[in-house]
Amino acid sequence: MGNSESVVTPWEVRGEVDYRELIERFGVEPLTERIVNRLKVHAGGLHLLLRRGMFFAHREFDEWMDSYERGVKVILYTGRGPSGNTHLGHLIPWLFTKYLQDTFKCELYFQVTDDEKFLFNPELTTEQVAEFTKENLLDIIAVGFDPERTKIFTNLSYSKPLYNMAVRVAKHVTFSTAKATFGFSESSNIGMIFFPAMQAAPCFIHQYLKSEDAHVLIPCAIDQEPYWRISRDVAPKMGYRKPAGIYSKFIPGLGSGGKMSASLPDTAIFLSDTTKEATRKVKNAFTGGQPTIREQKEKGGNPDVCVVYSYLYSLFDEDDKAVSETYESCKGGGLVCGDCKERLAEKVGKFLEEHRRRREAARETVNKYLLRE
Amino acid sequence: MGNSESVVTPWEVRGEVDYRELIERFGVEPLTERIVNRLKVHAGGLHLLLRRGMFFAHREFDEWMDSYERGVKVILYTGRGPSGNTHLGHLIPWLFTKYLQDTFKCELYFQVTDDEKFLFNPELTTEQVAEFTKENLLDIIAVGFDPERTKIFTNLSYSKPLYNMAVRVAKHVTFSTAKATFGFSESSNIGMIFFPAMQAAPCFIHQYLKSEDAHVLIPCAIDQEPYWRISRDVAPKMGYRKPAGIYSKFIPGLGSGGKMSASLPDTAIFLSDTTKEATRKVKNAFTGGQPTIREQKEKGGNPDVCVVYSYLYSLFDEDDKAVSETYESCKGGGLVCGDCKERLAEKVGKFLEEHRRRREAARETVNKYLLRE
């Protein structure tokens, strides 16, 4: 696929991503229809992100559902690295996690890796990370997680139990393994090298805090998978179940190629964008359209490479029939890019408006969610 | 000096130790008469461990006294790795630290590195380390530190502020530096690699907790010096004063050669030993005596290689004149080893008895000393 070199690590996603190849490289499993249908029975319906294939791979998600059906306690764990403002791409695992929490009525441990962002980015100060953390927390809560079942914590402010657990993980992870998994070098700082233990710790934090058996599922984007390889490797050595995982694709940026990235602000829709800003970005998005309206009507567009179509498909248009019609109509020349952009801009605007409302409400409830020692 | 290879690291001391050579290797300064006399003015007298040269080297101890005289806040920091029962060798930096605290009426931060012992020793469980920690705490408090000015903490139980500070330190320490300083390898676990940041963190914890400038002095045995090299290296990058240090020699084991080591229990006097056990160990100690009493009387003994004499000299006989007489009398054949052993055993017995009394009393006061979040 493509000529550009493809890099997918927990810190960097670059080049064209071949999800089939990633499944092989990471040794994870594709989400089969059988598994998805099993989830559907529990949920009473399928989340858009499943129907449209944004969640595409997993690790023992079926065994995690086995645990649920057999009465083993099931737990969710996901997180956020607070390196800046939140954008739509960050939301994907959270929206899906909320769906799983609603379905299985289970506890969610949500880790905010303030230490990671400080350690990995030479420019960032702890004060900046603290500010991002404060703002990001509101976005997380705005997603609507169950306040009775959701425990949010940051590594720096919840470090007593976390560091205790991370030290136990660390004892089983050699530098050699960490280097092979994450590509550390002589110039990596010693905090970075330790960090995978802090990231693995929440896989076991519920069991540690409550002294009970539990089976953890981690919904996240596929680039985070190396951490769970480490976690799965140490779990039996520590007497815990291996955590299961369910992995999403990346939402593309609004430009041509690459995932949505906060470092390219014109091609990312931030949750803090005004409706006007978001509309401007959508209007400038890369599409599969022809250079002129006349050519578009004659030759038709190419929805397969169109970012606007992919947003409607993956995230903003729940209506399978409407999406399918959009696809055909575009190919047949019955739609011009302006139409789709307008439709998407309206949906994005509504989404952001609703998010802003929830975000303001979150200022009142944030303490209900925070794990403190 | 000697043929056996000399190894001095924070985790291992092996072979004959040449303290002059260590001063060069570590790049520290010898404790000159000028500096010692300056301390004497403040203290009103010299501690035995200074008079007998057990504390022999330092790093900017004179500048630390400058700070004190100029009204800069001065702080002490020392610690303990809870890997087993405490023995006499462990006491040396603590006794000296108490003398400094009494002299300068300053706060002492006392770190118990429970994470270190767990990470570095593959055999130890967290439960075992917790048990050693509990017992060691009583020995520490029995030394008699000022409860109003002493803050004891363990890395695992006080990890919120410590991990916060350690992460800031870690950002400035590359794997390459840590490897060169401590000899880490591919098979070191990632917790060990991070640990120097946890050990450096207390150099800055007072400044962090109180938001005030302070000059820290670290009294410890010379093998811990590599940690302070790292700490001094990062201090200015973090906007703090470089910590000063004052370094002791090792107390020898009761056998021939090597420092007192908990892993050789017959040649170590543990603070938990009964008077009877301690007496037995002293009676079996290596001395500079001749094989028979007759030869001893004819040729005289050699106090320079005698462990019993070195204990009296360094730790148990405050009376300079008596010690000097012992030395001469031994050389002249006027003393037999049994005499010295009896004298030492009696002093050790009294010391342990007094320690046991203080240790029991410490059960009541331990919470006054412990830093909690």
pLDDT of residue B313: 96
pLDDT of residue B233: 96
pLDDT above 70 covers a percentage of chain B that reads 98
Alpha-carbon gap, residue B78 to A186, rounded angstroms: 30
Residue B283 sits in a domain of what CATH number? 1.10.240.10
Token code pair at residue B88: 């006499």
Q: Which residues of B touch A155 (CB under 8 A)?
A: 163
Q: Which residues of A touch B182 (CB under 8 A)?
A: none
Q: How confident is the model at residue A117 (pLDDT cuts 50, 70, 90)?
A: very high
Task: Answer yes or no: is B364 within a domain.
Answer: no
pLDDT of residue B4: 53
Q: How confident is the model at residue A260 (pLDDT cuts 50, 70, 90)?
A: confident
- Short-list B134, B99, B98, B100, CA closest to B367: B134
Per-residue pLDDT of B54-74, as tens digits, reads 999 999 999 999 999 999 999
pLDDT of residue B14: 78
Task: Answer yes or no: is B347 within a domain.
Answer: yes
Q: Which of A250, A280, A314 is the last residue of a domain?
A: A250
Task: Answer yes or no: is A41 within a domain.
Answer: yes
Residue A329 and residue A184 share a domain: no
Ordered DSSP codes for A77-105: EEEE--SS--BHHHHHHHHHHHHHHHHHT
**Is B189:A174 a contact under the CB 8 Å cutoff?**
yes
Residue A160 and residue A55 share a domain: yes
pLDDT of residue B2: 39
Per-residue pLDDT of B73-89, as tens digits, reads 999 999 999 989 999 99
Q: Which of B201, B222, B250 is the last residue of a domain?
A: B250
Task: Answer yes or no: is B147 within a domain.
Answer: yes
pLDDT of residue A263: 83
The label of the residue with tokens 């000393």 reads: B369
Alpha-carbon gap, residue B182 to B203, rounded angstroms: 19
Task: Answer yes or no: is B259 within a domain.
Answer: no
Which chain A residue is nearest to residue B165, measuring alpha carbons? Answer: A156
Asked if A167 and B373 come within 8 Å (Cβ–Cβ), the reply is no
Does the structure show a pLDDT above 70 at A218? yes
**Is A1:A18 a contact under the CB 8 Å cutoff?**
yes
Residue A291 and residue A172 share a domain: no
Task: Answer yes or no: is B373 within a domain.
Answer: no
Terminal CA-CA length for chain B:
48
Question: What mean pLDDT is predicted for residues B185-201?
Answer: 96
Domain extent for A159: 7-250
Task: Answer yes or no: is A287 within a domain.
Answer: yes
Residue B85 and residue B59 share a domain: yes
Alpha-carbon gap, residue B67 to B214, rounded angstroms: 9
| Alpha helix stretches (DSSP H) within chain A | 19-26, 33-43, 48-51, 61-69, 88-104, 114-120, 126-142, 159-170, 175-182, 190-200, 205-210, 225-234, 275-283, 293-299, 307-311, 320-331, 337-369
pLDDT above 90 covers a percentage of chain B that reads 90
Select the residue from A116, A121, A190 to test the B interface by mutation, using most B Cβ atoms within 10 A: A190
Question: What mean pLDDT is predicted for residues B279-302?
Answer: 94
The total number of structural domains in chain B stands at 2
Q: In chain B, what is the greatest distance between 2 CA atoms, to the nearest angstrom? A: 68
Residue A163 and residue A23 share a domain: yes
Checking A181-186 for CB contacts under 8 A at 24+ apart, the result is A181/A226, A181/A229, A181/A230, A182/A9, A182/A10, A182/A226, A183/A9, A184/B175, A185/B175, A186/B174, A186/B175, A186/B176, A186/B179
pLDDT of residue B294: 93
Residue A345 and residue A219 share a domain: no
Task: Answer yes or no: is A372 within a domain.
Answer: no
Question: What mean pLDDT is predicted for residues A48-66?
Answer: 96
Q: Which residues of B touch A166 (CB under 8 A)?
A: 191
Residue A295 and residue A228 share a domain: no
Helices B190-200, B159-170: axis angle to 10 degrees equals 100
Checking A253-258 for CB contacts under 8 A at 24+ apart, the result is A253/A307, A254/A281, A254/A282, A254/A284, A254/A285, A254/A286, A254/A307, A255/A285, A255/A286, A255/A307, A256/A286, A256/A307, A257/A4, A257/A16, A258/A13, A258/A14, A258/A15
Q: How confident is the model at residue B3 (pLDDT cuts 50, 70, 90)?
A: very low
Asked if A159 and B157 come within 8 Å (Cβ–Cβ), the reply is no
pLDDT of residue A4: 53
Per-residue pLDDT of A59-75, as tens digits, reads 999 999 999 999 999 99
Q: Tell me what the pLDDT averaged over chain B comes to.
A: 93
Asked if A172 and B164 come within 8 Å (Cβ–Cβ), the reply is no
Q: Which residues of A touch B176 (CB under 8 A)?
A: 186-187
Q: Tell me what the pLDDT averaged over chain A comes to.
A: 93
Does the structure show a pLDDT above 80 at B253? yes
Residue B293 and residue B185 share a domain: no
Residue B307 and residue B241 share a domain: no
pLDDT of residue A1: 35
Q: Which residues of A touch B124 (CB under 8 A)?
A: none
Q: How far is A187 from chain B (nearest CA, A)?
A: 5
Q: Which of B250, B277, B292 is the last residue of a domain?
A: B250
Residue B353 and residue B296 share a domain: yes
Neighbours of A281 (CB within 10 A): 21
Does the structure show a pLDDT above 90 at B257? no
pLDDT of residue A258: 80
Residue A128 and residue A269 share a domain: no
**Is B251:B259 a contact under the CB 8 Å cutoff?**
yes
Alpha-carbon gap, residue A39 to A216, rounded angstroms: 16
Question: What mean pLDDT is predicted for residues A165-193?
Answer: 96
Residue B194 sits in a domain of what CATH number? 3.40.50.620
Closest partner residue to B115 (CB to CB) among A119, A167, A178 is A167
What count of CB pairs under 8 Å joins A to B?
129
Does the structure show a pLDDT above 80 at A373? no
pLDDT above 90 covers a percentage of chain A that reads 91
Question: What mean pLDDT is predicted for residues A327-340?
Answer: 95
pLDDT of residue B181: 94
Asked if B190 and A168 come within 8 Å (Cβ–Cβ), the reply is no
**Is A94:A130 a contact under the CB 8 Å cutoff?**
no
Closest partner residue to B170 (CB to CB) among A157, A175, A191 is A191
Does the structure show a pLDDT above 50 at A156? yes
Residue B170 and residue B144 share a domain: yes
